[in-house]
């Protein structure tokens, strides 16, 4: 199988690296921060050992870790046939990154943008290979969530789509193809729901617990919107809703001030131990 490059060792990048390695791929996981890479290694080890308890398959932890190279140098991506980018949802950062990986990787390498809000055509414009750039919105936790959004950009070729589908199939992922529009399907709906739920708390209409109880009890949702916010990361929610607001210029995407306050205060959810709910210890990244 092709070597898979993964850029960004946060929650999503760690999950993609683990899922690809579990599927038999050799993986190169890169991040500028060595501590983030160390944390990613520990998280993958933890998640592999806990896979059965989390509802997944039994996993050979050592085999998965042996299949992943951890590197802080983008040049380690040179042998990759596919690179999955997972950095923060900020266009300025992505616009700076893509020319760098474009210069390192083989001209035939496919770039997969794991983004939840930024249009793929815009991302492709930062490269010399817009026909080999495609979006895949993986869901968290990546090893356990099988459905993904597949988003071709304006120039994405059929060959790129074929190779991407083969890669997704190798990991047991089921792609649902949607058009290239900011937020795609899942985040156009989910971010509005979470943002409005945060407004209910901000305005004193209901507590976070009450909001989530309504969604669990009335609609049979396994998690309420604010529990989901804590799982994804409150800071990530804020970035996504800001992208939607900037993209559409529609006031319905105005970010709730409470999300901004919580982000500034470091109350990012499970990963920091405190969000809309308190957690005894921070959840390992990607868990």
- Is the dihedral angle over the CA atoms 248, 93, 284, 4 positive or is it negative? positive
Question: Could you read off the pLDDT of 14-64 as tens digits, one per residue?
Answer: 999 999 999 999 999 999 999 999 999 999 999 999 988 877 788 999 999
Catalytic residue among 85, 149, 227, 242: 149
Among 199, 97, 180, which Cα is nearest to 136's? 180
137 assigned to active site: yes
Which residue of the set 86, 114, 116, 182 is catalytic? 116
Decide which of 99 and 141 is more confident: 99
**Annotated catalytic residue 128:** no
What is the DSSP pairing of strand 147-152 with strand 133-137?
Answer: antiparallel
pLDDT-above-90 percentage for the chain: 91
283-to-24, 194, 229, 233, 276 alpha-carbon distances in Å: 27, 21, 14, 11, 14
Closest CA to 111 of 74, 140, 146: 74
Q: Which of 23, 51, 137, 240 is catalytic?
A: 137
Residue 116's pLDDT is 87
pLDDT for 282? 62
Handedness of CA 244, 85, 44, 141 (dihedral sign): positive
b/e map 127-150, b = 16+ CB within 10 Å? bebbbbbbbbbbbbbbbeeeebbb
**242 with 90: CB under 8 angstroms?**
no
pLDDT digits (tens, 9 = 90+) for 129-179: 999 999 999 998 899 999 999 999 999 999 999 999 999 999 999 999 999
154 is catalytic: no
Q: Given the residues 51, 86, 187, 195, select the one marked as catalytic.
A: 187
187 flagged as catalytic: yes
| Beta carbons of 66 and 27 less than 8 angstroms apart | no
Tens digits of residue pLDDT in 197-219: 999 999 999 999 999 999 999 99
What strand order describes the sheet that includes 174-177?
A: 68-71, 27-30, 4-7, 82-85, 110-113, 133-137, 147-152, 174-177
3-state SS, the chain, equals CCCEEEECCCHHHHHHHHHHHHCCCCEEEECCCHHHHHHHHHHHHHHHHCCCCCCCCCCCHHHHHHCEEEECCHHHHCCCCEEEECCCCCHHHHHHHHHHHHHHCCCCCEEEECCCCCCHHHHHCCCCCHHHEEEEECCCCHHHCCEEEEEECCCCCHHHHHHHHHHHHHCCCEEEECCCCCCCCHHHHHHHHHHHHHHHHHCCCCCHHHHHHHHHHHHCCCCCHHHHHHHHCHHHHHHHHHHHHHHHCCHHHCCCHHHHHHHHCCCCECCCCECCCECCCCCCCCC
Give the pLDDT of residue 283.
57
pTM: 0.88
């Amino acid at each position: 199988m092709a070597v898979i490059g993964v850029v960004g060792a946060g929650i999503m990048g760690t999950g993609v690296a683990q899922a690809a390695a579990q599927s038999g791929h050799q993986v190169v996981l890169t991040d500028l921060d060595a501590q983030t890479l160390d944390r990613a290694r520990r998280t993958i080890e933890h998640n592999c050992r806990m896979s059965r308890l989390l509802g997944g398959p039994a996993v050979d932890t050592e085999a998965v870790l042996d299949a992943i190279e951890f590197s802080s140098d983008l040049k380690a991506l040179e042998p990759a046939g596919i690179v999955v980018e997972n950095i923060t949802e900020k266009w300025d950062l992505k616009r700076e990154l893509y020319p760098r990986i474009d210069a390192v990787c083989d001209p035939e390498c496919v770039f997969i943008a794991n983004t939840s809000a930024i249009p793929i055509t815009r991302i492709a414009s930062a490269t010399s290979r817009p026909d080999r750039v495609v979006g895949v919105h993986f869901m968290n936790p990546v090893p356990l969530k099988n459905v993904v959004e597949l988003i071709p950009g304006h120039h994405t070729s059929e060959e790129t789509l074929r190779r991407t589908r083969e890669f997704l199939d190798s990991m047991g992922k089921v792609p649902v193809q949607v058009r290239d529009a900011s937020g795609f399907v899942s985040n156009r709906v989910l971010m509005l729901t979470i943002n409005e739920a945060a407004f209910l708390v901000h305005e004193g209409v209901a507590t976070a617990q009450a909001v989530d109880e309504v969604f669990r009890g009335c609609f049979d949702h396994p998690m309420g919107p604010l529990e989901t916010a804590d799982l994804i990361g409150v800071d990530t929610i804020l970035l996504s809703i800001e992208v939607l607001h900037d993209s559409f210029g529609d006031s319905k995407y105005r970010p709730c001030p409470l999300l901004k306050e919580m982000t500034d205060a470091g109350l990012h959810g499970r990963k920091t131990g405190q969000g809309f709910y308190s957690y005894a210890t921070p959840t390992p990244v990607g868990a």
